[in-house]
Every structure is written in C-alpha cells, then in structure tokens.
C-alpha cells in the first residue's frame, strides 16, 4: 500500500500582490478510502488535522464511508509510525484494531457532503461505539436513581452538513435501520425549547418551501424518546450554505463555507450534494466561543429535552488562513457532441452552481490561500451522459478546470500553474477492460493527456487509500 506525502503548491503572483510561493503546510490528511464503490472496502473517508498540530489535539472525519474498519485494515500492512509518525500509542495498544481505536478516540466531529451510503456507512456503524479517550477499559458506573441512571462518559461528536443532508442521514436513526442514538443540535442557542418543540411537530418539506423533492416528514421534527437522549452518541449540526466561514468545533482551528451541488435525479427531483471550503486558521488555534460550556456533548434537562451546543450557528468575520476545497459527488454542465439535450435542465443548474464555487476558488487561488482541490472523477470518458448518474468523467472534469482557469485569467497561459487536484471517487470495474488497464489507470491517463494538450498547469494526483497527504 503506497503512502505519499504530497508537496506544497507553487503559487503565482497576481498584479503585484505578494504571494507566498512556499507556504507552510496547513492540512495533514490520512486517506481511509477514496473510491466510489462498488467495493465497500474503499469508500469516501478522510481523517484531517491541522499540519502544525498533533492528532491527539483532535481530528476531523471528512466523510464517513470508510472509517474504523478501513484504518484497522490499513494498519495490518502499513506501520503506524508511517501513517501517524507523531503518535505514541499507550502500552497494550499493539494490535491494528486497538491502534485504530486509539486514533478514532480523538475524533472531534464529522463533516459530510451528502448522505449516500458510500459517504456515511462507517459513520452509522461506528455510532454507538465511538472510542473514549481512556487508555484502560472503562467500567460502567452504578445507577444513581431509576429516573436518571448514570451513564459512562462518552464522546458525542457533532455531524456537520447541510440541513438537507442531515435530514436524509437522520432517517437511518429512526429505530428501524439503526438505533435512535442521535439528536439535533438547536439552530439557535437561545431558542425556547418548548417553542422549538411546537415548531418541530409540523410536517414540511425537507429543504424548505422551494425544495424540489416534495413534501415528506422532516426527521428533524421527530420527538426522540427520552432513552435516546440519555444515550445520544451523535448530534446533527446543520450548516447554512452560502454563508461566511462557520467554525466547526472549539477543539479545531477549522471553519467551513458550504455550497450546494447537483448530484443526479431522484423521483422527488434533483439530489443535492455539497462542496466545502475548509479553512485552517493561521494560528492553529480554534476560535474562541462565548458560551460557558462549549463541549459538543448532549445535555438533558429536567424535562428530558435534548439540547446540543449549536456550534454551526456562528460565523467568522474574516476569511483568513489556508483553504482546502473538497467536493462531494457532483455533475457538470458538460455534454459531448450529440448529448447536449441529455438532462438539459439539470445541466444548466449544475453549470450555475459549479460556477459559483469556481468563482470563490479563483479568488482563493489568486490570493494564495487555496492549498488544493479534492474532486471526484467516477467514470472514464467513453461513458454516455445518460449513464453518468450525477458524476464526472475526465472530459467533464476538464471542463470544470477550464471554467476555473477562465475565471482566474481569460488570457494568461497556464493560469493554474502548480494547482494540485486530488482525484477521488473512481469506481472500480468489475469486468476486465479490453485494454487490460484498471479504471484508475484509464481515468488518470485521460486526465494527464487532457492537461498535456490543454496546458492549464494543473497537477492531477490519484488519491489512494493509505495515502498520507500534507499540503
């Protein structure tokens, strides 16, 4: 299993503005899974921390398709000192599963782009068993009373994502597919719990009045049973799209700006995904919180009402620090000749949404803030538009890079010189290709050839499970 430490992007000057050509790395990323299926052993999952901090200071789980099991598998073939050179494991943590659990004990929060299973299956399986930071096996305490039994102290990390994404994910926690062990963080810290409960009893649309998916019961309106609130293992913390950078968690110097994406079609309309600019504060310190108890745990009041910490409701005033642009699954406005009318309405919507993101990315790139882009490329170029299912192929990804390049500079040669683009979500073939090459080999060679001919300056990098990336 190859492990790579990627270098730093070579940034360029913009109209006399000084741009650091050799910035300090801002992000350290362990790739637990980068595939797009159908193999459940290689789904989207990344562990992220500030490059200048240790894993013990807290980590972000970016997507939740691959997780604890994937890391356990990786540690059977890759020495832990290679993946985590700055971690000293406690005595007795000498097996892959114990070492993986120790790493996951520093899990601070999840950040999810959309709710498809290849992006959340590990998250669901791990909820209820998230390791504590104890180095010895904890003993359950004795109950203090029948009404309020004492429970072991356990982490209760928030899951950040758009409200639409979290409402879809919440369907798994309704008691039928998985136990009811998740609660919603309030969107306003000062919200009256009784008034909020009255509002949540109504039925409405998943994504607001203009949602295209039709009216369904919103899982965030459910009244979770009292037992679930006592044993809550996760909290749903909605992010607001198109807002300024929103801090994620008091233990991490990360904030995020979220943008919607189009990802295929369902019987209820287009399926929404999201792209996220993840920003690391230059100081490496998390933003300070005004609330008295910034812990992400779920508290229970005398009436049994679960209350979260409302972490997703504050925004930073300034856009500072290095940024990583991470795309969930998406489709493009690109169509090959003869396929222009395939999903024409969704094509136009995708083009509009994607351009909004590229406009922000161009600004970040010209200011020297954009450390890299993670973006999917699921299928090879020969796949017809009608069978893309809301994904990208090399020609459509190249179209998106051209859009970015045009916004950066419509006249400059190689306007994206040094931009690192990490390719994710490649779907493995289940039958041999006539050329004898794998899907990854075909897709990467097609992208490299497009760059060779188009000369935008992009460096396409295949992202593989087991990679350690520092940018």
Q: E strand or H helix at 306, and its extent?
A: strand 306-307
Which pLDDT score is estimated for 324? 98
Q: How far apart are CA 160 and CA 313, in angstroms?
A: 11
CA dist 377 to 176, 219, 332, 398, Å?
Answer: 34, 32, 11, 10
Higher pLDDT, 287 or 219: 287
104 or 37, higher pLDDT: 104
Closest CA relative to residue 309, chosen from 186, 168, 137: 186
Give the pLDDT confidence score for residue 4 in this predicted structure.
Answer: 55
Q: Is the pLDDT of residue 187 over 90?
A: no
For residue 24, what pLDDT band results from cuts at 50, 70 and 90? confident
Domains of the chain with CATH codes: 27-134+153-191+215-470 (3.60.15.10)
pLDDT, average across residues 62-82: 97
pLDDT, the chain, mean: 81
pLDDT over 60 at 361, yes or no = yes
What's the pLDDT band for 205 if we cut at 50, 70, 90?
very low
154 in Cβ contact with 138 (< 8 Å) = no
The pTM is what? Answer: 0.83
Are 236 and 184 in contact by the 8 Å Cβ rule? The answer is yes
| DSSP single-letter state for residue 80 | H
What is the predicted pLDDT for the residue at 20? 56
Q: Identify the band that residue 155 occupies on the pLDDT scale cut at 50, 70 and 90.
A: low
Q: Are 24 and 7 in contact (CB under 8 A)?
A: no
Q: Give the model's pLDDT for residue 292.
A: 35
**pLDDT above 70 (res 63):** yes
Residue carrying structure tokens 């222009």? 340
Question: Strands 299-300 and 306-307: what pairing?
Answer: antiparallel
User: Please, are residues 354 and 332 in contact by the beta-carbon 8 Å criterion?
Assistant: yes
pLDDT level of residue 37 (50, 70, 90 thresholds): confident
Question: Within 13 Å, how many C-alpha atoms sit on residue 469's CB side?
Answer: 27
Query: What is d(CA 246, CA 286) in angstroms, rounded to the nearest whole number?
Result: 12
């Amino acid at each position: 299993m190859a492990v790579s430490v990627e270098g730093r992007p070579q940034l360029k000057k913009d109209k006399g503005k000084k741009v650091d050509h050799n910035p300090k790395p801002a992000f350290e990323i362990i790739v637990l899974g980068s595939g797009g299926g159908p193999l459940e052993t290689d789904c989207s999952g990344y562990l992220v921390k500030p490059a200048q901090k240790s894993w013990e200071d807290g980590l972000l789980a970016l997507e939740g398709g691959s997780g604890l099991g994937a890391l356990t598998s990786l540690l059977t073939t890759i020495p832990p000192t290679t993946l985590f050179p700055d971690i000293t494991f406690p005595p007795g943590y000498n097996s892959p599963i114990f070492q993986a659990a120790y790493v996951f004990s520093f899990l601070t929060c999840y950040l999810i782009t959309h709710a498809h299973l290849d992006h959340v299956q590990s998250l669901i399986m791990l909820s209820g068993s998230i390791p504590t930071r104890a180095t010895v096996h904890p003993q359950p305490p004795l109950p203090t009373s029948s009404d309020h039994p004492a429970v072991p102290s356990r982490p209760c990390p928030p899951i950040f994502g758009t409200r639409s994404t979290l409402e879809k994910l919440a369907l798994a926690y309704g008691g039928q597919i998985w136990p009811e062990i998740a609660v919603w963080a309030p969107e306003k810290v000062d919200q009256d719990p009784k008034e909020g409960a009255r509002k949540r009893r109504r039925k409405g649309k998943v994504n607001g009045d203009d949602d295209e998916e039709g009216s369904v019961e919103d899982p965030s309106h459910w009244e979770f049973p009292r037992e679930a609130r006592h044993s809550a293992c996760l909290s749903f913390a909605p992010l607001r799209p198109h807002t300024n950078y929103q801090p994620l968690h008091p233990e991490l110097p990360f904030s995020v700006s979220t943008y919607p994406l189009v990802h295929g079609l369902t019987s209820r309309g287009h399926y929404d995904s999201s792209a996220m600019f993840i920003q690391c504060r230059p100081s490496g310190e998390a933003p300070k919180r005004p609330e008295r108890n910034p812990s992400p745990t779920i508290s229970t009041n005398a009436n049994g009402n679960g209350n979260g910490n409302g972490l997703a409701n504050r925004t930073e005033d300034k856009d500072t620090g290095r940024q990583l642009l991470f795309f969930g699954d998406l489709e493009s406005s690109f169509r090959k000749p003869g396929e222009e009318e395939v999903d024409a309405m969704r094509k136009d919507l995708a083009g509009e949404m994607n351009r909004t993101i590229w406009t922000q990315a161009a600004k970040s790139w010209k200011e020297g803030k954009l450390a890299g882009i993670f973006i999917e490329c699921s299928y090879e170029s020969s796949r017809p538009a009608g069978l893309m299912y809301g994904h990208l192929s090399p020609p459509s990804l190249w179209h998106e890079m051209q859009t970015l390049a045009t916004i950066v500079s419509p006249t400059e040669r190689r306007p994206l010189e040094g931009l690192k683009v990490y390719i994710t979500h490649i779907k493995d073939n289940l039958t041999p290709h006539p050329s004898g090459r794998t899907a990854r080999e075909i897709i990467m060679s097609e992208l490299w050839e497009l760059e060779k001919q188009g000369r935008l300056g992009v460096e396409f990098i295949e992202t593989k499970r087991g990679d350690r990336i520092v940018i």
